[in-house]
Amino acid sequence: MMAHRLQPTIHRATSTINSRYAGAVGCRRVFSSPTEADDGDDVPKADPRQLVHTLYNPTIRMSHLGVSKSILPGGLIEKVNEKTGDRTFLEVERAMGHFWMLGDLRKNGGKPIIANESLIPASYAQVFPRLEGLVSLSGKENVNLPDFLCQDAGSRLSSACTLVAISFKQFGFEKLKGWIEPFETAVCHGIGPDSRAGRAKVVQISIIEGSLYKIFSGLFVRSWKSSTPEELHENTLLHFGSEDDTKSFRENIRMHNTLTGYVALVDGLGRVRWMGSGEANDDEVATLIDCARELTP
């Protein structure tokens, strides 16, 4: 019988604290060209437009609606002066306002990333981005990705897959259920020839950003553990740290908008073979299940 995934309260707590301290967060200096950054400034001197193909996974399909597609490495938005033609790179929050994520989701229907319509070919697929220092509810510490996603595949590396479900806030956490439950039913717990037991699994990752939460991470882990069925502890991972700690991880697979949830299908070699976001619909779920079965024949 499939375990019911309860909704932890930690995401709600972090959202409340974040809103209280939002006014204290500063912005990096605005610059009109990359060469204007002073030595020691935390604004990158390289033109962020030139880093897109290096830092972003090109197989991720971004919605043409909303802001997320236009966000450059470093969380920057390019602005062009209509009179002079000068280009300025602003932090997205400064350019679009503090509540830009809400506006982004309204415009793209809650889906910054458009789900792939088929399995990403192995020749184009890129390895799931690295993230270190996670903890599992089963007690494991210093869990690293993508290593953890491949550790159970063993000799079945070429015929295994993992649905990775990622959230940063309670709102996004609640969106993941619509992806996870049908995947577990159809793929992980299928009957007869449809069963992929031992070759397909779900790993749920909750990212809690902020140094304050890291200090009290032990309390959060215990609270989360008490509200999650024991059989899910092994594959439920938490990451505590600053936004800088997760920046390269988020940017690589285009999770710029941290309000919603994201799902990625990762093969036995740790490569991203499909990705989606927001609330699942029937067609997307059907495609996800077909892709998982294709990876686990």
**Alpha-carbon distance 281 to 1, whole Å?**
23
Contacts of 21-24 with CB under 8 Å at 24 or more apart are 22/98
For residue 78, what are the contacts with CB-CB under 8 A and spacing of at least 6?
A: 48, 49, 70, 72, 87, 88, 89
Give 83-136 pLDDT, tens digit per residue. Answer: 888 889 999 999 999 999 999 999 999 999 999 999 999 999 999 999 999 999
Contact 80, 87 (CB under 8 A): yes
Q: Which residue has 């962020």 as its token pair? A: 48
**Alpha-carbon distance 2 to 189, whole Å?**
8
Confidence (pLDDT) at 218: 86
Minimum mean pLDDT among 18-27, 54-63, 210-219: which range? Answer: 18-27
Give 195-252 pLDDT, tens digit per residue. Answer: 666 789 999 999 998 877 888 888 889 989 999 999 999 999 999 998 899 999 999 9
Closest CA to 170 of 13, 17, 12: 12
**Alpha-carbon distance 47 to 57, whole Å?**
18
DSSP secondary structure string for all residues of the chain: -PPP----SHHHHHHHHHHHHGGG---PPPBSSGGGSPTT-SS-SS-GGGGHHHHS-TTSEE-SSSSGGGPBTTTEEEEE-TTT--EEEEEHHHHH-TTHHHHHHHHTTT-SEEPPSSPPPTTT--BPPPEEEEEETTS--SEEETHHHHTTTGGGGGG-EEEEEEESSHHHHHHTHHHHHHHIIIIIT--GGG--TTTEEEEEEEEEE-HHHHHTHHHHHHHHHHTS-GGGSTTEEEEEE-HHHHHHHHHHTT---TTS-EEEEEETTSBEEEEEESS--HHHHHHHHHHHHHH--
| pLDDT averaged over every residue in the chain | 85
Confidence (pLDDT) at 239: 96
For 245-274, what is the mean pLDDT? Answer: 97
Confidence (pLDDT) at 170: 94
Amino acid, single-letter form, for residue 109:
G
Q: pLDDT grade, residue 162 (50/70/90)?
A: very high
Predicted confidence (pLDDT) at residue 155 exceeds the cutoff of 60: no
- What the block records as the tokens of 287 is 């495609």
Confidence (pLDDT) at 20: 33
For 147-151, what is the mean pLDDT? Answer: 88
Confidence (pLDDT) at 11: 58
